[in-house]
Amino acid sequence: MTEEPKTPKPAVQQKVVFDLPRAFQLQQERLLNSHASIRSVTGHPGTLGDHSEVDWVEMLSDFLPARYAVGPIFAIDSRGAISDQIDVAVYDKQYSPMWFGSKDKVEFVPVEGVYAVFEVKPTLDATYLAYAQAKVASVRRLHRTSAAIKHAGGVYRATDPAEKHVIGGILTAHSGWTTYEGSIAKLHEHLPEVGGDGSLDLGIALDTVTFDSTPVPVDGESGEPAIALTFSSEGDQLIHFAIRLFDQLQRLGTVLALDMREYEAALARSRGAAILE
């Protein structure tokens, strides 16, 4: 009697995993090493600052979806006001016109298209926190327009600009307060309350701690969101920052649809031209 050949048992496949925490930690180490390498050969603050800004722009550009543009900007409004220069901004290029630019790739972005603005500094301390607050306030104080959007089923109402919060923060390599616990204590002391023109929603000292004030629903998706100041665990600064930034951007949705007629009005005022009816 011929013995039937045995069907070979399928090989047990080893579960493949991606070490997400380690990936963030390696990126964190890369940023710190990049900052340290340039610091070892020059103490020029402008050079150090430019290098840090480039690192942050590259990191955020790699991490965020392609719908977000990242880079240095000036924000402008329909009344001709302009913000301070912003080191790193997250802004829109899909729905916002980019009329103006310069040879060093600094964009002049309508404030309606700005999602988030960050000041880049070497150290997280009280002086630089105050500096970042002033930079963020210079954007939030600009006049923002809003227009209705037509779609196949009708018209979306013009969004109240107050519903589209401009995220503000600070990006640094080191904490000026030495320890993790000491940094948290000082941040509680020096950070302003959420809601003001200069309040900071998110900040990081790569070697020590991240802070954030991310809205959290009180009861599932209903009710007014609670906003509490929270901090990363030791060693998780970059992953905490990335997750909370993405969370805050998701909550904003799409940027405001700017009212082009208000921008056109500035041209009409300067030339005495008639605005199209």
**Which positions are annotated as active-site residues?**
87, 119, 121
Given the DSSP bridges, would you call strands 123-124 and 149-151 parallel, antiparallel or unpaired?
unpaired
Backbone angles phi, psi at 274, to 5 degrees: -85, 140
Answer for the pair 106, 82: CB distance below 8 angstroms, yes or no: no
Q: From 123, 108, 121, 136, select the one nearest 213 (Cα to Cα).
A: 136
Answer yes or no: are the C-beta atoms of 228 and 194 closer than 8 Å: no
Report CA torsion sign: 226, 143, 94, 238.
negative
Q: List beta partners, residue 7.
A: none
Q: Which residues contact 100 (CB under 8 A, 6 or more apart)?
A: 76, 107, 108
Tell the burial category of 274 from Cβ atoms under 10 Å away from its Cβ (0-12, 13-18, 19+). exposed
Cβ-contact 185, 193 below 8 angstroms: no
Q: Which two tokens stand for residue 138?
A: 């210079």
d(CA 196, CA 200): 9
Asked if residues 181 and 168 have their Cβ atoms less than 8 Å apart, the reply is: no
